[in-house]
């Protein structure tokens, strides 16, 4: 493909995807020390996931808002209803009453590769209309901390993501949303982050299944086992998760899981990342427990650990 064909391909993708991207305007009531209650306006982005008016954005875009408005790709402004929010994943679902909406295609964030070309689309700095920036996937599985929040398993990109971009899609060259961009880290310079779209799919699935987002947990803090650690402790494995902490009173604590245990399998599947453990726990909500295979003192044990459910406020 020559440069002209490449440019045409990119512009076609962007022109199609941009029809699914919206601007979100919020109003929240704050206390002004001189005038009492005063409205404070905020801006963000979002993208349409269903023709019936469902839109995904970041939780921090709509959090605490008394009124939420959506500027559609047509330029029409409509009031939106906040259906659900999840501060732990920094995701929110809002709905508008509008017709002829064009949902974006959702990709598979498990298949993304470092170096892949991506586009961040949104309304940076409150500028009207959608803006497009291009970059590459710089890294995956990142963990970042912002104000009162820790987000893990994030996509890192060098595509410019500024305040106002938050909640917009990170799009691949197939025109699929593979992430939800977040500008929650204001000091990042030349680095942008996005919540994987598969995390968003699980958020939506929980709303569909349980009527609200929920957090499933067993109460362990884990770290991937390295090959150096496996050699040092003469372990018969090279993959697994080391338990570095157990929450007192949690299901894992009550089941006898202890610091230093090595989790090698969950529900019969080998495991090597905290993300895989989290997904396995979420997938086992209806069963009510996960079966862990652990190594302790050179011996293998199997233990069933109940799953605790926390409703997201």
Alpha-carbon gap, residue 257 to 245, rounded angstroms: 9
User: Catalytic amino acids?
Assistant: 60, 90, 166
CATH of domain 105-210: 2.40.10.10
The model carries a pTM of: 0.83
Contact by Cβ (8 Å): 30, 37:
yes
Q: Are the CB atoms for 265 and 213 separated by under 8 Å?
A: no
What mean pLDDT do residues 73-86 have?
Answer: 93
306 or 164, which is more confident: 306
The chain-wide mean pLDDT, for the chain, equals 88
Q: Cβ-count burial of 149 within 10 angstroms (0-12 exposed, 13-18 middle, 19+ buried)?
A: middle
* 117-128 exposure pattern, b = at least 16 Cβ within 10 A, e = fewer: ebbbbbbbeeee
The half-sphere exposure of 80 on its side-chain side, counting CA atoms within 13 A, is 32
CATH class of 3-96: mainly beta
What are the C-alpha distances in Å from 269 to residues 265, 279, 303?
5, 12, 14
Q: Do domains 3-96 and 214-311 have the same CATH topology?
A: no
Would you state the pLDDT for residue 188?
56
Whether the predicted pLDDT of 38 surpasses 70: no
Domain ranges of the chain: 3-96, 105-210, 214-311
Q: Which CATH number fits the domain 214-311, given the four candidates 2.30.42.10, 3.30.565.60, 3.40.50.1860, 1.10.1740.10? A: 2.30.42.10
pLDDT, one tens digit per residue, over 220-250 is 998 888 888 778 877 778 889 999 999 999 9
Instruction: Report pLDDT digits (tens) over 89-102.
Output: 899 999 999 988 99
Q: How confident is the model at residue 34 (pLDDT cuts 50, 70, 90)?
A: low
């Amino acid at each position: 493909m020559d440069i002209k064909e490449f440019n045409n391909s990119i512009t076609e993708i962007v022109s199609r995807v941009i029809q699914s991207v919206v601007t979100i305007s919020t109003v929240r009531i704050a206390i002004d020390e001189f005038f009492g209650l005063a409205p404070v306006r905020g801006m963000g982005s979002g993208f349409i996931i269903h023709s019936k008016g469902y839109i995904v954005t970041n939780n921090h875009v709509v959090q605490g808002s008394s009124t939420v408005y959506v500027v559609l790709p047509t330029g029409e402004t409509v009031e939106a209803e906040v259906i659900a929010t999840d501060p732990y994943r920094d995701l929110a679902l809002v709905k508008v009453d509008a017709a002829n909406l064009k949902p974006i295609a959702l990709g598979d964030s498990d298949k993304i590769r470092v170096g892949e070309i991506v586009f961040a689309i949104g309304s940076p700095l409150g500028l009207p209309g959608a803006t497009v920036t291009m970059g590459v996937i710089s890294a995956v599985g990142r963990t970042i901390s912002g104000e009162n929040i820790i987000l893990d398993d994030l996509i890192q990109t060098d595509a410019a993501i500024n305040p106002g971009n938050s909640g917009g899609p990170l799009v691949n060259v197939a025109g699929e949303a593979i992430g939800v961009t977040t500008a929650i880290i204001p000091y990042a310079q030349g680095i942008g982050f996005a919540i994987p779209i598969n995390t968003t799919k699980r958020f939506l699935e929980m709303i569909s299944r349980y009527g609200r987002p929920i957090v499933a947990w067993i109460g362990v803090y884990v770290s991937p086992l390295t090959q150096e650690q496996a050699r040092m402790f003469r372990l018969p494995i090279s993959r697994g998760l080391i338990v570095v902490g157990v929450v007192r009173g949690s299901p894992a604590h009550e089941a006898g899981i202890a610091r230093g245990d090595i989790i090698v399998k969950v529900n019969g599947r080998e495991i090597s990342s905290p993300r895989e453990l989290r997904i396995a726990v979420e997938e086992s909500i209806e069963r009510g427990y996960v079966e862990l295979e652990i190594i302790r003192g050179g011996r293998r044990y199997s233990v069933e650990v109940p799953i605790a459910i926390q409703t997201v406020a």
